[in-house]
């Protein structure tokens, strides 16, 4: 799971899929289309996808686009 604060400062958690590749690992979130990341280790790809999601959502906010809601709700 990757976390991000929305415009109302509510912490949102997005499902992240991490896959092994020939070069290391890749990750994406089905709830954040167009956002993906890679890394040589699991730890690196987890850090990278969290940064990528935060950066992607910041860009959406700045451009006035709606921030996607996580499709999976954790209690």
Low-confidence ranges of the chain (pLDDT < 50): 7
Q: What is the pLDDT of residues 50-68, one digit of tens each?
A: 999 999 999 999 999 999 9
Architecture of domain 2-62: 2-Layer Sandwich (3.30)
What pTM did the predictor assign? 0.82
Cβ-contact 26, 34 below 8 angstroms = no
Using alpha carbons, list the distances in angstroms from residue 30 to 24, 27, 70: 20, 10, 9
Structural domain spans, the chain: 2-62
Residues in Cβ contact with 68 at an 8 Å cutoff, skipping those fewer than 6 apart: 31, 32, 33
């Amino acid at each position: 799971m990757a976390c991000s604060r929305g415009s109302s400062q509510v912490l949102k958690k997005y499902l992240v899929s991490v896959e092994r590749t020939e070069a290391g690992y890749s990750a994406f979130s089905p709830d954040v289309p167009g956002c993906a990341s890679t890394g040589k280790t699991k730890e690196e790809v987890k850090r990278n996808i969290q940064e990528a999601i935060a950066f992607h959502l910041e860009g959406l906010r700045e451009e006035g686009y709606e921030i996607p809601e996580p499709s999976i709700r954790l209690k």
